[in-house]
């Protein structure tokens, strides 16, 4: 190479290393992407190519020669006992096949060189899903989990044992007293991510970021609240295994969760018994000769959106461990494995404008209206931006070109700004006044609020929707559209109006007839019998959700009168003495229950016969507690349980608890007709799905 070339490419190499290093720092240490993964990978590949072509330009600190470090100074550091590296990457099935052939050839050459090595036929490969989570190494000593360590820089990781111990699926003790190092991925299911993220002040863009944040928490009490999961995919130090498929079987035998969605591509005739054993443990695995690989790739690409968790590709690994050892490692990756990276389910769009929504609690949520874009099979045009902090973090404004992600049924998120528009100021700012009522906004925590609780039309609308909604009072006949009509006609403004409106007036409205009106009246009438434990949370009083209501009732504060009396006397201790209710909740509840407007709502509802006393004990000792210890979610509509809160009441009477969304803790889904996404989620988290006939049978069998 001429000295000119050397200068030019030398400069490019230096620049690539600087760029990649700063992207890595943001990505691994702050969980932020400054460029898309595709762009990062493109620069990485370019660097790799230059270094290969001009070896004299190789620098020891090049990202191609080491693993991007996610070490945190807040956590203790531990040296690894095994190489914990990254993966080499390809981007198409064709490239994967090429890699396979290259690796095969290399292995064959090595076998020929070695005096003992005999390579008969072509080697086997295992292909696995590349789970998009956080890499972790579990060190077991004589069967006990001694240490769990992050990848770190590949040689040194962070000790996160206390957090990993909170993961139910990670055994603290193996089935055998072995000393082994196990590599695997910690991840969060999409359903759990969605449920949890919705409760966070400043949410995460994807399950991986939330999982990574959880694992690196300094206090492990918080980690326990996140239902992290784990898949093991490799082990070091096992005796008597000489192939990767045996390693997977052994991991399973030792009590570690292993992903059954994999493929074993064998080229020689293998022992049918061995295949049978593998299939028995991994029923979803594809096993067969060459064609199986493309079959597996196709199936994964097709089913990717329906998986319970995110994957960002597949990993192909040489099955023969002896061959692996001969092929060895670079400073960055093993030579015997490769990742086939999938495109992220991302789209590029432009922000048309940023709107402001006022929720039922007065919380202000900015929402980006974007040019419609198709991502992972669905069109996205609204993306929540959560709060000002979130927008400031992204440096976002109308007119910006952004990348937007949507994984499975997780809500779409803006991942990053790709190109700034011309908006002034360059970062969007929340307005100072409520768009619905004009009140000056106030700041509480990470959010802005409209303080005009009872006079703000949008807040009233939000509370009405919430009150009548499926997971609260579930008032038959009062869906969002009917509510809109009632509000438009001025028939209903606040919750008690629902019980005072003259529904006959609807006769003149298009879409309303005798039958619909009768349905509304019956719905309203029935709602009066909804038990206190469901009624109180339906009012949407901040902090007075189902959980706190239950805690209060169980602690003997079982009526609104008692609560109001506590509010009047300002007896904070009486509330904060209850386990699960902290001083902040006590404060808010008291403050709220002192509001004259809320008291008026309550007294009007009471006049209409709604139940403000906890009459039904939650469990009824005379009834067999057949659902004790179980967590049910109820969805769809039912023939014999209308409104469906009645089905929920049947479960609670028999000792079960009822939740409004499916998560890893859900054990059963009672699915009526028209059960939607909850059905898929339930299946994905392994909850038992029970239909109405089966449910009635369960009740009948228990003689109740
Ligand atoms: N956008 C950015 O600025 C930026 C910056 C740095 C890195 N990145 C992204 O991160 C990638 C590099 O990160 P990396 O080095 O962690 O590599 P990687 O995450 O792409 O691949 C290696 C990891 O895959 C995981 N994995 C999951 N399932 C596995 C299985 N079945 N078998 C083996 N491993 C499995 C392991 O944890 C392993 O550490 C880049 O390709 C890029 O996509 C992006
Ligand atoms: Zn307002």
Instruction: Give first-to-last CA distance, the chain, whole Å.
Output: 87
| Cα-to-centroid distance, 320 and ligand 2 (Å) | 66
Length of the chain, in residues: 704
Structure tokens at 196: 């949890």
Paired residues of 380 in beta bridges: 373
| Whole-angstrom distance, CA of residue 386 vs CA of residue 457 | 21
Please indicate, yes or no, whether residues 512 and 401 belong to a single structural domain of this protein: no
Residue 616's pLDDT is 60
For 306-346, write each residue's pLDDT tens digit: 899 999 999 999 999 999 998 999 989 999 999 999 877 78
Q: Can you give the CATH number for the domain in which 401 is found?
A: 2.40.50.140
For 593-622, write each residue's pLDDT tens digit: 999 999 999 999 999 999 999 986 555 667
Please indicate, yes or no, whether residues 515 and 655 belong to a single structural domain of this protein: no
Residue 620's pLDDT is 60
Instruction: Identify whether 130 is a catalytic site residue.
Output: yes
Of these ranges, 261-265, 328-332, 407-411, 443-447, the one predicted with the greatest mean pLDDT is 261-265
Please indicate, yes or no, whether residues 488 and 425 belong to a single structural domain of this protein: no
Residue 664's pLDDT is 83
pLDDT, mean of residues 288-303? 91
Question: Is-above-0.80 flag for pTM?
Answer: no
Give a yes or no: residue 626 inside a domain: no
Give a yes or no: residue 363 inside a domain: yes
Which secondary-structure segment (H or E) carries 483? helix 480-488
Paired residues of 141 in beta bridges: 144
Residue 445's pLDDT is 87
Strands (E), 125-205: 125-131, 134-141, 144-150, 156-158, 180-187
For residue 246, name the pLDDT band (cuts at 50, 70, 90).
Answer: very high
Estimate the crossing angle of helix 37-53 against helix 3-24, to 10 degrees. 150
Residue 5's pLDDT is 73
Domain that holds residue 560: 457-607
Give a yes or no: residue 688 inside a domain: yes
pLDDT, mean of residues 449-454? 94
27 lines ligand 1 (CB under 6 A): yes
Q: Can you give the CATH number for the domain in which 27 is found?
A: 1.10.287.610
Q: Is 262 annotated as a binding residue?
A: no
Ligand with minimal distance to 344 CA: 1
Q: Is residue 489's pLDDT more than 80? A: yes
pLDDT, mean of residues 538-565? 93
| Cα-to-centroid distance, 357 and ligand 2 (Å) | 10
Give a yes or no: residue 201 inside a domain: yes
Please indicate, yes or no, whether residues 554 and 420 belong to a single structural domain of this protein: no
Residue 3's pLDDT is 67
Give a yes or no: residue 105 inside a domain: yes
Give a yes or no: residue 623 inside a domain: no
Of these ranges, 214-218, 220-224, 390-394, 502-506, the one predicted with the greatest mean pLDDT is 502-506
Residue 619's pLDDT is 53
| Whole-angstrom distance, CA of residue 300 vs CA of residue 341 | 12
Mean pLDDT of the chain: 90
Q: How far is CA 56 from the centre of its chain?
A: 46
Please indicate, yes or no, whether residues 675 and 656 belong to a single structural domain of this protein: yes
Nearest residue to 129 via CA among 282, 269, 279: 282
Q: Is residue 704's pLDDT more than 90? A: no
Please indicate, yes or no, whether residues 306 and 357 belong to a single structural domain of this protein: no
Question: Which residue, of 317, 341, 365, is where some domain finishes?
Answer: 341
For residue 433, name the pLDDT band (cuts at 50, 70, 90).
Answer: very high
Question: Which residue, of 33, 65, 97, is where some domain finishes?
Answer: 65
Q: What percent of the chain has pLDDT over 70?
A: 96
> Residue 504's CB: how many other CB atoms inside 10 A?
10
Please indicate, yes or no, whether residues 209 and 358 belong to a single structural domain of this protein: no
Please indicate, yes or no, whether residues 515 and 405 belong to a single structural domain of this protein: no
Give a yes or no: residue 73 inside a domain: no
Q: Is residue 120's pLDDT more than 60? A: no
Q: Is 450 annotated as a binding residue?
A: yes
For residue 265, name the pLDDT band (cuts at 50, 70, 90).
Answer: very high
Please indicate, yes or no, whether residues 212 and 298 belong to a single structural domain of this protein: yes
| Cα-to-centroid distance, 458 and ligand 2 (Å) | 7
Please indicate, yes or no, whether residues 486 and 591 belong to a single structural domain of this protein: yes
Q: Is residue 243's pLDDT more than 90? A: yes
| Whole-angstrom distance, CA of residue 89 vs CA of residue 573 | 59
Q: Can you give the CATH number for the domain in which 587 is found?
A: 1.10.150.20
Structure tokens at 272: 């049918």
Alpha-carbon torsion angle 394, 400, 403, 406, nearest 10: 80
Could you give the count of Cα atoms lying within 13 Å of 663 in the half-sphere of its Cβ?
18
Least confidently predicted of 228-242, 252-266, 415-429:
415-429
Q: Is residue 79's pLDDT more than 80? A: yes
Q: Can you give the CATH number for the domain in which 668 is found?
A: 3.40.50.10190
CB burial readout 670-682, b (16+ within 10 A) else e: bbbeebeebbbbb
Give a yes or no: residue 665 inside a domain: yes
Could you give the count of Cα atoms lying within 13 Å of 440 in the half-sphere of its Cβ?
0
Of these ranges, 16-30, 369-383, 575-589, 635-649, the one predicted with the greatest mean pLDDT is 575-589
Q: Is 185 annotated as a binding residue?
A: yes
Q: Which residue has the higher pLDDT, 646 or 573?
A: 573
For 145-174, write each residue's pLDDT tens digit: 999 999 999 999 999 999 999 999 999 999
For 679-700, write each residue's pLDDT tens digit: 888 888 888 989 999 999 998 8
pLDDT, mean of residues 439-461? 94
317 lines ligand 1 (CB under 6 A): no
Q: Can you give the CATH number for the domain in which 260 is found?
A: 3.30.470.30
Alpha-carbon torsion angle 467, 473, 475, 478, nearest 10: 10
Residue of the CA atom closest to atom 7 of ligand 1: 24
Residue of the CA atom closest to atom 35 of ligand 1: 130
Q: In what order do the strands lie in the sheet with 286-288?
A: 88-90, 337-341, 311-318, 125-131, 262-265, 286-288
Please indicate, yes or no, whether residues 517 and 597 belong to a single structural domain of this protein: yes
Please indicate, yes or no, whether residues 175 and 134 belong to a single structural domain of this protein: yes
Number of domains within the chain? 5
């Amino acid at each position: 190479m001429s000295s000119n070339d050397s200068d030019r490419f030398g400069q490019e190499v230096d620049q690539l290393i600087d760029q990649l290093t700063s992207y890595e720092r943001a990505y691994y240490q702050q969980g932020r992407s400054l460029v898309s993964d595709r762009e990062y990978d493109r620069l990485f590949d370019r660097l790799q190519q230059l270094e290969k072509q001009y070896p004299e330009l190789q620098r020891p600190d090049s990202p191609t020669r080491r693993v991007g470090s996610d070490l945190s100074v807040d956590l203790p550091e531990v040296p690894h006992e095994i190489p914990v590296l990254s993966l080499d990457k390809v981007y198409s099935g064709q490239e994967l096949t090429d890699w396979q052939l290259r690796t095969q050839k290399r292995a064959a050459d090595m076998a020929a060189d070695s005096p003992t090595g005999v390579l008969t036929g072509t080697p086997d490969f295992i292909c696995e899903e590349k789970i998009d989570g956080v890499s972790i190494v579990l060190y077991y000593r004589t069967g006990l989990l001694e240490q769990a360590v992050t990848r770190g820089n590949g040689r040194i990781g962070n000790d996160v044992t206390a957090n990993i111990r909170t993961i139910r699926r990670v055994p603290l003790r193996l089935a055998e007293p072995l000393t082994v190092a196990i590599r695997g991925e910690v991840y969060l299911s999409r359903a759990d991510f969605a449920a949890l993220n919705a409760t966070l002040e400043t949410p995460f863009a994807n399950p991986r970021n939330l999982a990574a944040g959880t694992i690196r928490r300094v206090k492990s009490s918080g980690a326990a609240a996140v239902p992290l999961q784990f898949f093991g995919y490799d082990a070091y130090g096992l005796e008597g295994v000489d192939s990767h498929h045996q390693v997977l079987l052994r991991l399973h035998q030792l009590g570690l969760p292993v992903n059954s969605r994999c493929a074993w591509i064998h080229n020689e005739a293998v022992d049918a018994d061995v295949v049978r054993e593998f299939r028995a443990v991994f029923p979803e695995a594809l096993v067969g000769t060459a064609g199986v690989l493309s079959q597996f790739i196709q199936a994964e690409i097709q089913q990717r959106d329906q998986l319970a968790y995110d994957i960002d590709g597949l990993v192909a690994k040489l099955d023969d461990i002896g061959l692996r050892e001969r092929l060895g490692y670079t400073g960055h990756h093993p030579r015997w494995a490769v990742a086939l990276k999938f495109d992220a389910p991302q789209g590029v769009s432009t922000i048309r404008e940023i709107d402001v929504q006022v929720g039922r609690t007065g919380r202000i949520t900015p929402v980006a209206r974007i040019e419609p874009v198709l991502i992972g099979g669905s069109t996205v045009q609204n993306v929540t931006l959560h709060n000002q902090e979130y927008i400031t973090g992204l440096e976002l404004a109308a007119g910006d070109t952004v990348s937007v992600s949507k994984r499975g049924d997780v809500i779409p998120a803006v991942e990053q700004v790709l190109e700034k528009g011309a908006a002034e100021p360059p970062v969007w700012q929340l307005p100072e006044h409520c768009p619905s009522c004009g009140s000056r906004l106030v700041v509480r925590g990470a959010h802005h609020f409209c303080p005009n609780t009872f006079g703000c039309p949008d807040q009233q609308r939000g509370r009405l929707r919430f009150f009548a909604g499926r997971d609260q009072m579930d008032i038959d006949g009062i869906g969002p559209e009917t509510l809109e009509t009632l509000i438009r006609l001025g028939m209903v403004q606040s919750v008690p109006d629902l019980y005072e409106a003259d529904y006959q007036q609807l006769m003149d409205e298009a879409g309303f007839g005798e039958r619909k009106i009768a349905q509304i009246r019956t719905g309203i009438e029935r709602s009066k019998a909804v038990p206190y434990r469901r009624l109180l949370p339906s009012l949407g009083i901040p902090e007075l959700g189902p959980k706190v209501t239950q805690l209060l009732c169980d602690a003997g504060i079982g009526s609104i009168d008692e609560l109001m009396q506590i509010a009047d006397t300002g007896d904070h201790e009486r509330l904060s003495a209850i386990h699960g209710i902290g001083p902040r909740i006590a404060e808010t509840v008291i403050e709220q229950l002192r509001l004259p407007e809320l008291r008026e709502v309550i007294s009007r509802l009471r006049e209409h016969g709604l139940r403000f006393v906890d009459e039904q004990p939650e469990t009824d000792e005379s009834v067999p507690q057949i659902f004790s210890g179980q967590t049910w979610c109820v969805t769809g509509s039912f023939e014999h349980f209308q409104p469906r809160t009645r089905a929920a009441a049947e479960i609670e009477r028999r000792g079960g608890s009822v939740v409004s969304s499916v998560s890893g803790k859900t054990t059963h889904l009672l699915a009526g007709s028209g059960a939607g996404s909850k059905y898929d989620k339930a299946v994905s988290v392994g909850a038992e799905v029970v239909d109405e006939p089966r449910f009635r049978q369960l009740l009948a069998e228990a003689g109740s």
